[in-house]
């Protein structure tokens, strides 16, 4: 049914110059990584390392400061918050916060705290919604609804939440001290509850009460983000530093540059199309929160780790097509994951790590390997930018 032949031209962007702010291909040896990191109040440092549970690969972290609304003293800075363009909103693991630190809970009209069940593909996270002033880099958003995962105040996960997956409410099960969803939407459209007298039932909060992408609530530079990560060698890297830049075309350091192709996203799902091996995968996405490129290719062996393990590194091409039919081909490599990990035991960033996607999911996921050496712009739905109105991605 989806076996269309790709008629899309293949202008492979092998040799795009790595100019300031612009995208570049991760295939070439001279990727975007030669640029000095940008500076400015709209820049936060990104770090790729093994993370707080010491088992992360291809995961970009940032530090986030949360304060009680209006306070400059009741504040905490939390490191190792995963930067995720596939979700929306800030979530902190309760155990990563000092036990004495408290933020005001968000309540409904009856004064009951609003609690969220967040569902990820690998599990569910339960915890109350609190309100905080959120500072990332030099940008602050006031009174942002955020989620505190695994709070002892709401230790019993209702079955209607836990029935959707395994619970990941700790730093070790979650793999980070929290997650910063900076994708192309403002609200997370999650499952919300109140629990009067300890009995939780689902509610429909107002949009303003839902956990929200803090970037959209910044006073300035609030129309999107750029994830800027340097390229790494084919054997991977043990240490990577990049930048999370706020705003698109709002400052001298966040112009679209060479990322002139705007790929608009489905306004409901945030997905676009990616064509690979002649098949169109119409539920595809670019996701900094995915630790590999995930796609269908039954000809590539899979090793026990779940990643692809071809006998030798493969150079492949896929075509990204926006809802607006803007289209370009992208080259990427797939190396043997077992060989990568055994040859570079301290490696935490690999641009050639890939894994199988289930054919009928209709999806090709360009994960963090795609972002290594290619600056990826994500514009928030409804926000105007020099490249048009979000939701879109550009690279």
Partner 1 sequence: MKSNRSGRWALGAALLIQALSVPAFAALGGGLNSVEDDQLKMQGTLRTTVSAAFTVHEIQTPAGTRVREYVAPTGVVFAVVWRGPKVPDLKQTLGTYFKDFTDAPRPAHPNHAHFAITQPNLVLQQSGHMRAYFGRAYDPHLLPQDVAVTDIK
Phi and psi at residue 119, to the nearest 5°: -110, 120
**CB contact at 8 A, 329 and 10:** yes
Q: Point out which residues pair with 280 in neighbouring strands.
A: 275
Query: Should residue 395 be labelled a site residue for partner 1 when binding is judged by CB under 8 A?
Result: no
Nearer Cβ to partner 1 (113/118): 118
Q: Is 183 helix (H, G, I), strand (E, B) or coil?
A: coil
Both tokens of residue 297? 């290719």
Nearer Cβ to partner 1 (166/219): 166
Nearer Cβ to partner 1 (108/266): 266
Query: Should residue 210 be labelled a site residue for partner 1 when binding is judged by CB under 8 A?
Result: no
| DSSP conformation class of 374 | S
Nearer Cβ to partner 1 (141/211): 211
Nearest C-alpha neighbor of 342 from the set 305, 290, 301, 297 = 305
CB of 55 to partner 1, least distance (A): 6
* DSSP assignment of 145-167: EEEEET-GGG-SPPHHHHTTS-B
Query: Should residue 204 be labelled a site residue for partner 1 when binding is judged by CB under 8 A?
Result: no
Site of tokens 């609190």? 130
| DSSP conformation class of 233 | -
197 Cβ partners below 8 Å, 6+ apart?
none
Query: Should residue 86 be labelled a site residue for partner 1 when binding is judged by CB under 8 A?
Result: yes
Nearest C-alpha neighbor of 187 from the set 381, 389, 322, 367 = 381
Task: Give the x-and-dash track for 139-168 against partner 1 (CB under 8 A).
Answer: --------------------xx-xxxxx--
CB of 98 to partner 1, least distance (A): 23
CB of 104 to partner 1, least distance (A): 25
**CB contact at 8 A, 372 and 354:** no
Phi and psi at residue 257, to the nearest 5°: 55, -130
CA-angle at 281, arms to 276 and 285, nearest 5°: 100
Nearer Cβ to partner 1 (183/310): 183
Q: Which of 122, 201, 260, 313 binds partner 1 (CB under 8 A)?
A: 122
Site size for partner 1, by CB under 8 A?
60
Binding segment for partner 1 among 79-87, 221-229, 241-249, 313-321 (CB under 8 A)?
Answer: 79-87
Q: Which of 210, 246, 357, 387 binds partner 1 (CB under 8 A)?
A: 357
Binding segment for partner 1 among 63-71, 92-100, 313-321, 355-363 (CB under 8 A)?
Answer: 355-363
CB of 22 to partner 1, least distance (A): 26
Site of tokens 């062996």? 301
By the criterion CB under 8 A, which residues form the site for partner 1? 51, 53, 55-59, 82, 84, 86-88, 119-123, 159-160, 162-166, 173-176, 179, 181, 183, 185, 188-191, 268-271, 283, 285, 287, 289-292, 294, 305-306, 355, 357-363, 365, 367
């Amino acid at each position: 049914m989806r076996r269309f032949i790709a008629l899309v031209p293949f202008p492979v962007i092998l040799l795009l110059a790595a100019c300031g702010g612009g995208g570049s291909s991760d295939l070439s040896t001279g990727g975007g990584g030669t640029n000095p990191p940008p500076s400015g109040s709209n820049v936060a440092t990104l770090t790729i390392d093994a993370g707080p549970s010491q088992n992360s690969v291809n995961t970009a972290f940032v530090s986030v400061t949360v304060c009680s609304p209006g306070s400059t003293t009741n504040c905490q800075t939390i490191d190792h918050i995963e930067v995720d363009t596939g979700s929306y909103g800030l979530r902190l693991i309760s155990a990563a916060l000092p036990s004495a630190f408290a933020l005001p809970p968000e309540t409904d009209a009856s004064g009951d705290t609003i609690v969220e069940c967040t569902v990820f593909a690998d599990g569910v996270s339960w915890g109350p919604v609190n309100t905080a002033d959120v500072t990332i880099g030099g940008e602050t958003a006031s009174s942002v609804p955020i989620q505190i995962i695994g709070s002892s105040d709401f230790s019993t996960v209702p079955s209607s939440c836990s029935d959707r997956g395994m619970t990941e409410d700790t730093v070790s099960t979650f793999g980070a001290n929290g997650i910063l969803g900076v994708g192309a939407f403002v609200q997370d459209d999650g499952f919300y509850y109140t629990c009067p007298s300890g009995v939780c039932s689902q509610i429909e909060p107002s949009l303003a009460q839902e956990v929200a992408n803090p970037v959209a609530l910044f006073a300035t530079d609030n129309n999107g983000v750029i994830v800027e990560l340097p390229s790494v060698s084919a054997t991977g890297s043990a240490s990577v530093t990049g930048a999370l830049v706020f705003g698109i075309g709002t400052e001298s350091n966040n112009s679209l540059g060479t990322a002139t192709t705007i790929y608009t996203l489905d306004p409901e799902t945030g997905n676009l199309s990616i064509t690979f091996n002649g098949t169109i995968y119409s539920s595809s996405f670019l996701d900094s929160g995915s630790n590999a490129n995930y796609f269908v290719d039954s000809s590539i062996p899979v090793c026990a780790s779940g990643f692809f393990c071809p006998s030798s590194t493969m150079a492949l091409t896929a075509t990204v097509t926006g809802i607006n039919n803007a289209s370009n081909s992208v080259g990427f490599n797939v190396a043997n994951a077992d060989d990568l990990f055994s040859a570079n035991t301290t490696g935490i960033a690999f641009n050639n790590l890939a894994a199988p996607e289930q054919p009928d999911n209709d999806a090709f996921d360009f994960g963090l390997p795609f972002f290594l050496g290619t600056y990826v712009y994500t514009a928030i739905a409804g926000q105007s930018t020099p490249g048009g109105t979000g939701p879109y991605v550009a690279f």
